[in-house]
Amino acid sequence: MKEKREIGYYLFPNFSGLLIASFIVLCDSLSNDFISESPLNMLFTNFGKITNFILVFGCIALVWIIILISEKLKK
């Protein structure tokens, strides 16, 4: 008989990859703080940093929500 595999089984190995990717994006965005730029470029780079931060951690939150929902449905 085949085992029934949960959604979390497929998502959890990718969660460590998401954490590593978010750490890399965060370090990359923080390392650009010390470069002097024109105000217009600073505006766009700051907007990009905020967007990257929201996107990466939003993906992590989405994975956690899917895992929690699959655990609730399992019960």
Length of the chain: 75
- Per-residue pLDDT, averaged over 3-16, amounts to 55
Query: b vs e for 4-38, b when ≥16 Cβ sit within 10 Å of the residue's Cβ?
Result: eeeebeebeeeeeebeeebeebeeebeeeeeeeee
pLDDT in tens, 11-43: 555 666 666 766 776 666 665 555 555 555 555
**Does pLDDT of 47 surpass 80?**
no
Domains of the chain, by residue range, sit at: 7-74
Of the pLDDT bands very low, low, confident and very high (cuts 50, 70, 90), residue 71 is confident
Q: 0.95 cut: is pTM over it?
A: no
Higher pLDDT, 6 or 63: 63
Which residue's structure tokens are 């959604």? 7
